[in-house]
Amino acid sequence: MPVYHLDLSQDQMEGSTIALLPGDPGRVKPIAEEIDQNSRELAYNREYHSYLSFIGNTPVITCSTGIGGSSTSIAIEELAELGIRKFIRIGTSGSIQEDISVGTIVITNGAVRLDGASDHFAPMTYPAVSDPAILFHLIKSAKKLGYPYRVGITASSATFYQGQERYDSFSAYVPRHLRGSLEEWQKLNVLNYEMEAATMFVLCSTMGLSAGCVCGIIAARAKSEHVAMDLKAETVKRTIEVAVNAIKSLIDEDM
Ligand code: URA
């Protein structure tokens, strides 16, 4: 029987224990093909698109999570049921520090839990932290590839507009309790906004699984609310390379 949302069955997994998780279903094929040109599509249901690749003899799943904590929690639950134990998110993000420009890679060591889903797994006093081994390999990979990168705290927001204090929305209204929040996170040395890391980290820690997160910066929010579409493709490419290299070194070390 396939799991309900991902529409994936145990026999399709070939014993995989590692998964790469982009948000975007359209990014699954390019990630899988960065690993292995002979990767094959497994399933595509709702926002969950999955591929199987091999690094040497080691099977690796790439599966999209959709946007935000709720859909990410479903992907992790169902992948864990199918045997996945290590999860690496490959995302895009908006930086909030002046000195982090578009194209920079941000590797998250811990996340602010504004995701709206992680509190269904553990109380808010529970930390949202990366697995140290995955963190180590992501840093090693970014360093080796020579891309500009930073390591630090990420704010995971349940929403793209209000929660990340964007005013270029339909209503152009940010509720009072969220006004000034970008500046506050900036002052507290949070590096960036995205929408999934906190959910992944809390879920995985509570279930004894490992998670890491690497994001490419596609908006520099200290300067503009807008996504830099001209630099997005190159930034996504760098982020994929960093994650794929990291799992290669993680697998090498485990063997
Ligand atoms: N993803 C986000 O959540 N925020 C951004 O600014 C860019 C990508």
pLDDT value at residue 254:
79
Question: Which ligand 1 atom is nearest residue 221's CA?
Answer: 6
Question: Which ligand 1 atom is nearest residue 157's CA?
Answer: 3
Q: Is 179 a catalytic residue?
A: no
- Given a contact cutoff of 8 angstroms between Cβ atoms, the answer to whether 200 and 74 are in contact is no
The rounded Å distance from CA 198 to ligand 1 centre is 14
Question: Which ligand 1 atom is nearest residue 219's CA?
Answer: 6
Measured by CA distance, the residue closest to atom 1 of ligand 1 is 93
Given 5, 14, 85, 225, the catalytic residue: 5
Cα distance between residue 145 and residue 249, in whole Å: 13
Along the 255 residues of the chain, how does pLDDT read in single tens digits?
Answer: 999 999 999 999 999 999 999 999 999 999 999 999 999 999 999 999 999 999 999 999 999 999 999 999 999 999 999 999 999 999 999 999 999 999 999 999 999 999 999 999 999 999 999 999 999 999 999 999 999 999 999 999 999 999 999 999 999 999 999 999 999 999 999 999 999 999 999 999 999 999 999 999 999 999 999 999 999 999 999 999 999 999 999 999 876
Cα distance between residue 102 and residue 216, in whole Å: 8
Q: Is 164 in the pocket of ligand 1 (CB under 6 A)?
A: yes
- Given a contact cutoff of 8 angstroms between Cβ atoms, the answer to whether 46 and 70 are in contact is no
Q: Is 221 a catalytic residue?
A: yes
Q: Is 238 a catalytic residue?
A: no
Given 34, 78, 165, 196, the catalytic residue: 78
- Given a contact cutoff of 8 angstroms between Cβ atoms, the answer to whether 234 and 227 are in contact is no
Q: Is 219 in the pocket of ligand 1 (CB under 6 A)?
A: yes
Cα 120 off chain centre by? 19
Given 27, 166, 196, 241, the catalytic residue: 166
Cα 115 off chain centre by? 13
pTM here? 0.97
Q: Which two tokens stand for residue 105?
A: 């890679």
Q: Is 193 in the pocket of ligand 1 (CB under 6 A)?
A: yes
Q: Is 81 a catalytic residue?
A: no
pLDDT value at residue 131:
98
Cα distance between residue 95 and residue 192, in whole Å: 4
The rounded Å distance from CA 220 to ligand 1 centre is 10
Q: What is the dihedral angle through the alpha carbons of 192, 194, 197, 200, rounded to the nearest 10 degrees?
A: 170
Q: Is 92 in the pocket of ligand 1 (CB under 6 A)?
A: yes
- Give all strands (DSSP E) within the chain, no chain letters: 18-22, 40-45, 48-55, 58-63, 86-95, 105-114, 149-157, 190-194, 210-220
Q: Quick one: which of 77, 13, 6, 8 has its CA closest to 46? A: 6
pLDDT value at residue 207:
98
pLDDT value at residue 255:
64
